[in-house]
Copies of this chain bind each other. A is one copy, B any other.
Amino acid sequence: MSRTTAGPEIERLIQLLAKLPGLGPRSARRAALHLLTRRDQLLSPLSDAMRLACERVIVCSTCANVDTQNPCAICRDARRDSSTIVVVEDVSDLWALERSGAVSARYHVLGGTLSALDGRGPEDLNLGTLAERARDPEVKEVILAVNATVEGQTTAHYVTDLLADSDVKVTRLAHGVPVGGELDYLDDGTLAAAIRSRTTF
């Protein structure tokens, strides 16, 4: 956008919006205009919501989930199964698992993966408290719900080694054909994994 057409306030709004994932320079301009033409319905409430989130949202010191209380609602929830800790890469993965309703346990958010390429080592991940949590006699199982990527699997191996001297059972998610998936569209690695892990019908 040429600097002469809009004031620095609009310019700055566009620049900051463009830093959101999923928005490029062009869609940031569209979003800014959308906001400016819906000042009372959207721009003002969104600004307030951001301010509030900025002030209130904190990171759970137990599991590194984001919430407005510490420990977070999941760590405090007495109805959840405390014997299982689900290890995820990011809060978005935690949310995905919660949406699925597949598990009602505690979580542990690593905050990323190990990556030699990007220079992320174990000290960059939230690993210190995980070993500690796994030593709790109540905890029986740690499910490694990391992505099925090279980085995810590297991280899973590292966590397995880390927990080797504790008494917990370490499991990982099953690999196989996604529900609704068509074989013709699947990669060889997934098909091989699905064959390898076949179960009785």
Q: A: which residues have CB within 8 A of B?
A: 1-2, 4-7, 9-10, 12-13, 16-17, 19-23, 27, 29-37, 39, 42-47, 49-54, 56-57, 65-69, 73-74, 77, 90-92, 94-95, 98-99, 101
Contacts and interface: CB of A to CB of B under 8 A. Distances in A.
Contacts of A49: 9, 12-13, 16
A73 to B, nearest CB: 6
A39 B22 contact: no
Copies of this chain per assembly: 2
B33 A73 contact: no
Contacts of A19: 42
Contacts of A101: 2
B29 A95 contact: yes
